[in-house]
């Protein structure tokens, strides 16, 4: 087992990473001081796909940790169900089970479950603790860490939510064995992101034969390295800027373009990582057109995504006008001015800025979409 810490003072928490953690030491980890912190009850939030496979293991781990009451609520599976209406099922289950502030919510699933469980925990009785147990690569390397929670609205992704940090993240890499290949691949763009914005060594490792291909082959060493390196990068950024007032915004490389794709196509049509993949290529292309990076870095990025099998362009039929309309409601818009995460300088360098020639954004959108 490897442990990464998110240093947030008295709200610091561990990210435990290892194979078979839920079976071998799940109870021990959950019983550790600062995780359950004396909580006597738990509500597992999962979905209809993950629950039948893994919830019994988590129930056993919680009970072996001394939790006296464990209830489970299963949500529908899919980004299209990341809504307030479906979130209410969590609160209703908590009320029906008579759960109080002595309860820990446990997010068992991918990014959708983690975001919804965390948001539910942030609001239930004005805030109860929760633990992340991610089962998708996307959740393992990104969404389970950092305390961003929320739900989608028809006009924009993740527009309603809260910052609410977990008390622990338990990554059992064995859970990735049952993940469909498409969902496994969709986690790779977030790993590529860390390489592009701050970790050149990780990017170069992905380019080796044991990088992208190792992840897709579910090689245990490759998965462990990718998850640990990603969590270390994410933890360092969150510790420096918990509420996205500065450097944390760099973690949104490709996301402004990507969120527009998800919203336009309908939540769930494109996986989040697939939209981020295309969005990252668009951000890299724009950075190159601005003269901020070399064409070679764009080409290297495209090749990585092609090897992963994730998109390198937005969906056919999506127009530049649609992008502009949807990007106008992005959370990084300030005083009516769009700010983007763009690459600048050598591999590992980026900026969050609204100080770019808007004509280059138009050129980039028209290059990918036509006028």
Q: Give the residue numbers annotated as catalytic, written as ranges.
A: 126, 148, 190, 234, 244, 248, 252, 255, 259, 272
Report the chain's terminal Cα–Cα distance, integer Å. Answer: 52
CA angle 281, 283, 284 (to 5 degrees): 65
Q: What is the DSSP letter of 139?
A: I
CB atoms within 10 A of CB 200: 14
Q: Residue 189's closest CA among 251, 261, 134?
A: 251
8 A C-beta contact, residue 331 and residue 148? no
* Residue 308 region by backbone torsions, left for phi larger than 0, else alpha for psi between -120 and 50, else beta: alpha
Handedness of CA 163, 198, 341, 282 (dihedral sign): negative
- Calculate the CA 355 to chain-centre distance: 27
Helix segments in the chain, DSSP class H: 21-24, 26-31, 51-64, 84-96, 111-123, 137-138, 181-186, 188-197, 200-207, 212-216, 220-240, 255-265, 272-289, 295-308, 320-327, 358-369
- Strands 2-6 and 340-343: what pairing? unpaired
The Cα–Cα gap between 43 and 62 comes to 10
């Amino acid at each position: 087992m490897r442990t990464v810490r998110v240093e947030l003072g008295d709200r610091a928490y561990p990210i435990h990473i290892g194979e078979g953690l839920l079976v071998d030491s799940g109870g021990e980890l959950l019983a550790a001081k600062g995780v359950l912190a004396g909580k006597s009850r738990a509500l597992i939030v999962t979905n209809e796909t993950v629950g039948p496979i893994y919830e019994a293991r988590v129930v056993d781990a919680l009970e072996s940790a001394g939790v006296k009451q464990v209830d489970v609520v299963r949500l529908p599976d899919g980004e299209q169900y990341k809504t307030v209406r479906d979130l209410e099922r969590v609160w209703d289950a908590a009320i029906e089970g008579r759960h109080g502030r002595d309860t820990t919510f446990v997010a068992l699933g991918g990014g959708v479950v983690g975001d919804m469980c965390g948001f539910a925990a942030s609001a239930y009785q004005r805030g109860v603790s929760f633990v992340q147990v991610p089962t998708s690569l996307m959740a393992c390397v990104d969404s389970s860490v950092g305390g961003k929670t929320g739900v989608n609205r028809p006009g924009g992704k993740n527009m309603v939510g809260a910052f609410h940090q977990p008390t622990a993240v338990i990554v059992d890499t064995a859970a990735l064995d049952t993940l469909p290949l498409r969902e496994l691949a969709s986690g790779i763009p977030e790993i590529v992101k860390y390489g592009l914005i701050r970790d050149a060594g990780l990017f170069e490792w992905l380019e080796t034969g044991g990088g992208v291909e190792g992840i897709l082959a579910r090689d245990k060493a490759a998965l462990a390295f990718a998850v640990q390196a990603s969590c270390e990068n994410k933890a360092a950024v969150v510790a420096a800027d918990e509420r996205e007032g500065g450097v944390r915004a760099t973690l949104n490389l490709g996301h402004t373009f990507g969120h527009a794709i998800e919203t336009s196509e309908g939540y769930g049509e494109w996986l989040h990582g697939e939209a981020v993949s295309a969005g990252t290529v668009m951000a890299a292309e724009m950075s190159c057109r601005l003269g901020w990076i070399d064409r070679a870095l764009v080409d290297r990025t495209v090749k990585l995504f092609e090897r992963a099998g994730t998109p390198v362009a937005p969906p056919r039929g999506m127009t530049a006008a649609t992008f502009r309309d949807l990007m106008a409601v992005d959370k990084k818009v300030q005083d009516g001015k769009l700010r983007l995460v763009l690459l600048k300088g050598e591999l590992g360098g980026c900026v969050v800025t609204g100080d770019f020639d808007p004509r280059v954004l138009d050129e980039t959108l028209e290059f990918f979409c036509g006028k």
